[in-house]
Amino acid sequence: MALTPVLEPTKTRPTTQHLTGPGSQVFLKNSFSLITLILFGAVLQSILVLILPLRFALAPAAVVFAVRILDHVLMIYNLKPNQYMSSVLLGKYSYQVPDSAGRFSDKPSDEPITVFMLSARSNHPAGVFAPGFAEMGKYMRKMDQELEAMDPTVSGFLGKTLWTNGTDRDGGNEVASISYWRSPEHIHAYAHGKTHSEAWDWFNKEVLKKGINYIGISHDLFAVPKGHWENIYINMEPTSLGAARFLRKGDKSSGEEDVWVRGIVDARKGQLRHSAGRLTWGTEQHEKYIGSELDV
């Protein structure tokens, strides 16, 4: 029997995860150290003290701080809904990828996937305000919007998340997007399309040829055959591959509508309960790890 997602299909296209977050705020707060940001706030507060009576100068920060503390205290004592749990799926789930028609197999990891990691950073003291970095950001956003609008059965694009390398250094941290695709061929087809070609031409002309060495980019591509990937999510909101979505085209001759599906499947029992099962290992490999009280 085919694996059954726990979420109902939707007629509207779910927005990919990286477009629902803070966006440019990620680049901004990772461009400067915590000390720099605190000092920036202190300077603003000092300016208010100089131009306003003291009670008015201190009021904005005091009110905002008090409201935020009160808001979190109310959530801690369950006096208001916990906003951080609003998108969390309670329980243990695994994310499965349907075929190109949006149909799920009866076996886990029965489709190949390709993971593409694209990183960027500004090695300039001005961070994201360095010359040229904003222009690169514009090309990145343009490509994101284009991918979001394309038919995924054609583009092979499944979804994307945004991450930061928080252990890297005090400022100018690396920002990376991790996207999921049907195949490397889909990535190469998009890379040779108009928008990416324009962005790459700009990078070669305005960054490399002009010797601008403080803008750094990198990518890693992993093509994973079916049966060689697995995942588990416990009390998490959909993230990483778990935030991907697929288009299931309906039979127009019978009036069936297109719907968007997500491959979140209950993993509390059966083959999906164990990593070995989600990898569809053979009996010998599977039984080697079964019997442990720890289900992973």
* Confidence band for 98, pLDDT divided at 50, 70 and 90: very high
3-state secondary structure 128-195: HHCCCHHHHHHHHHHHHHHHHHCCHHHHCEEEEEEEECCCCCCCCCCEEEEEEECCHHHHHHHHCCHH
Cβ proximity of 143 and 150 under 8 Å: no
Looking at the chain, the whole-number percentage of residues with pLDDT higher than 70 is 87
Burial (0-12, 13-18, 19+ Cβ within 10 Å), 234: exposed
- Amino acid of residue 35: I
**Coil, strand or helix at 38:** helix
pLDDT tens digits, residue range 233-259?
999 998 999 989 899 988 888 888 999
* Confidence band for 23, pLDDT divided at 50, 70 and 90: low
Average pLDDT, the chain: 88
The model's pTM = 0.85
**Coil, strand or helix at 79:** coil
Least confident of 15-29, 48-62, 161-175: 15-29
Strand order in the sheet with 157-164: 157-164, 175-181, 113-122, 215-224
Mean local confidence (pLDDT), 284-292: 60
- Hey, how many other C-beta atoms are within 10 angstroms of the C-beta on 20? 12
The Cα-based distances of 32 to 27, 211, 238, 248 in angstroms read 9, 24, 29, 43
Looking at the chain, the whole-number percentage of residues with pLDDT higher than 90 is 59
- Amino acid of residue 282: G
> Nearest 5°: phi and psi at 114?
-125, 130
Whole-number Å distance between alpha carbons of 74 and 107: 45
Cβ proximity of 18 and 245 under 8 Å: no
Extract the runs of DSSP E, i.e. beta strands, from the chain: 89-95, 113-122, 157-164, 175-181, 215-224, 233-236, 246-248, 259-261, 264-266
Contacts 24+ apart (CB under 8 A), 72-75: none
pLDDT tens digits, residue range 159-170?
999 888 766 566
* Residue 76, pLDDT above cutoff 90: yes
The token duo for 256 is 């069936």
